[in-house]
Amino acid sequence: MKSVLEVKSLYVDLPLPAGMLHAVRNVSFHVNQGETVSLVGESGCGKSMTALAVMNLLPRKGVRRAEVLSFEGRDLMKIDDSKMADIRGNKMAMIFQEPMTSLDPCYTIGNQLEEAILQHRKVSTAEARDRAVFLLEKVGITAAESRLKQYPHQLSGGLRQRVMIAMGLMCGPSLIIADEPTTALDVTIQAQILSLLASLQQEFEMGLILITHDLGVVSRTADRLAVMYCGEVVETGTTEEVFDNPIHPYTRGLMDCIPVPGKTKPGEKLGSIPGMVPTPIGELTGCSFRNRCPSASPDCARTETRLIEISPGRAYRCLLSPEACAVEWNRA
């Protein structure tokens, strides 16, 4: 299968008044054509930063570095800003977490949709319009023609997110990054948007990076996933592997937080992970999960953790062996 995106040892640093924030640390993953890869983790673990680093849209002063950051064989660390702008919105599109504020209030939906294709393709405005109508219908918006003349404030959040998806598809990208596309929406609309994304991805054979903190969503849509904690990947593998056989205590903790049909009995208490994600500012040593980990030992503060590969594409980050992880978890 053709690889679309290859990320190896990605770091993102952000200077803050309190010190240097290491928002993303040594993150590696890849996305193949037509494949959905999920980045999962709690709020603040660096998912958005990872995505923004790939798009080269980091906040001012944010710095990224990586051993490999290549998109369709092109080294994104080396190409200049205007070449990167040629890729953005064209070959690589992003859908954001905040549909309410992600559209420009001063321009019509039509204007903003057409703009995306006029920037990259030599098409007439009429052709751009047709494309916009076609995609608005594709994302399930009725009366697409008349929507073009509407302004963002006239649309609901769900509709705006559909518009954002249509906008991402304008140039037929080979990779879509969806950063928590449903977090801001009603539960009923969440499911619609997600299945829409999945079906579009199948239809257009795009790679999809689905960022979420909802493991339920991951289990339904992702082929592979990377669990992130405090800027690092702590476990990765195919969705099946990770769900059937989670290794890292953090992954296990996350799994305990979601009800499983057939397994979770009515009235049974769901798990939760005590404590909060530490902010990775300044010098960092040892395992970042140790303060919340039920299996932590004094070693965890002293020894650097490494991502240990147990089979191709399957890895976890812990000092303990997979078996020891399981034993410790069941004891706790």
Partner 1 sequence: MIVYTLKRLGLAALVAITVSIISFMLIRLSGDPAIALAGENATSEQIEFIRIQYGFDRPLVIQYLDWAHRALQADFGESPYFQQPVTRIIGDRIGVTLKLGVMSLIFAVAVSIPMGVLASIRPNTWIDRIALSISVMGQAMPSFWFGLIMIIVLGVWLRLLPISGTDSFAHYIMPTIALGYYGIPAFMRLTRSGMLEVLSSDHIRTARAKGLRWGKVLFKHALRNAIIPVVALAAVQLGFMLGGSIVIESVFALHGIGYLAWESIGRRDLPVVQAIVLLLSMIFVALTLLSDIINAFLDPRIRVK
Ligand X SMILES: Nc1ncnc2c1ncn2[C@@H]1O[C@H](COP(=O)(O)OP(=O)(O)OP(=O)(O)O)[C@@H](O)[C@H]1O
169 phi and psi angles, rounded to 5 deg = -90, -5
16 interacts with partner 1 by CB under 8 A? no
* Interaction partner, residue 43 (Mg ion, partner 1, ligand X, none; CB < 5-8 Å by kind): ligand X
Answer for which of 43, 245, 264, 303 binds ligand X (CB under 6 A) is 43
d(CA 247, CA 182): 28
Q: What is the DSSP string of 71-97?
A: ETTEETTTS-HHHHHHHBTTTEEEE-S
d(CA 133, CA 264): 45
To Mg ion, the closest distance from the beta carbon of 59 in angstroms equals 12
* Interaction partner, residue 178 (Mg ion, partner 1, ligand X, none; CB < 5-8 Å by kind): none
Q: List the structure tokens of 70.
A: 């290549």
For residue 252, give every residue at least 6 positions away whose Cβ sits within 8 Å of its Cβ, in sequence order, or none: 246, 325, 329
SS3 labels along 194-248: HHHHHHHHHHHCCEEEEEECCHHHHHHHCCEEEEEECCEEEEEEEHHHHHHCCCC
CA distances from 181 to 92, 206, 212 (A): 16, 17, 8
Judged by CB under 8 A, the chain residues 157 through 186 that form the site for partner 1 are 164, 167
* Interaction partner, residue 292 (partner 1, ligand X, Mg ion, none; CB < 5-8 Å by kind): none
* Helix-helix angle 125-138:157-169, to 10 degrees: 130
CB atoms under 10 Å from CB of 12, counted, come to: 23
28 phi and psi angles, rounded to 5 deg = -130, 140
d(CA 166, CA 147): 13
Nearer CB in complex with partner 1: 163/293: 163
Nearer CB in complex with Mg ion: 47/147: 47
CB atoms under 10 Å from CB of 94, counted, come to: 24
85 interacts with partner 1 by CB under 8 A? yes
252 interacts with ligand X by CB under 6 A? no
Nearer CB in complex with ligand X: 47/252: 47
Which part of the chain contacts ligand X (CB under 6 A), choosing from 46-54, 85-93, 117-125, 265-273?
46-54
Nearer CB in complex with partner 1: 51/194: 51
Judged by CB under 6 A, the chain residues 148 through 207 that form the site for ligand X are 180
To partner 1, the closest distance from the beta carbon of 244 in angstroms equals 36
Q: List the structure tokens of 89.
A: 């919105």
To partner 1, the closest distance from the beta carbon of 280 in angstroms equals 22
48 interacts with ligand X by CB under 6 A? yes
To partner 1, the closest distance from the beta carbon of 105 in angstroms equals 6
To Mg ion, the closest distance from the beta carbon of 47 in angstroms equals 5
To Mg ion, the closest distance from the beta carbon of 12 in angstroms equals 13
Distance spanning both ends of the chain, measured CA to CA: 41
Nearer CB in complex with ligand X: 23/116: 23
What residue ranges bind partner 1 (CB under 8 A)?
Answer: 55, 57, 59-60, 82, 85-90, 93-94, 96, 98, 101-108, 115-116, 119-120, 151, 153-154, 164, 167
Contacting residues toward ligand X, per CB under 6 A: 14, 16, 21, 23, 41, 43-49, 59, 97, 180, 213, 279
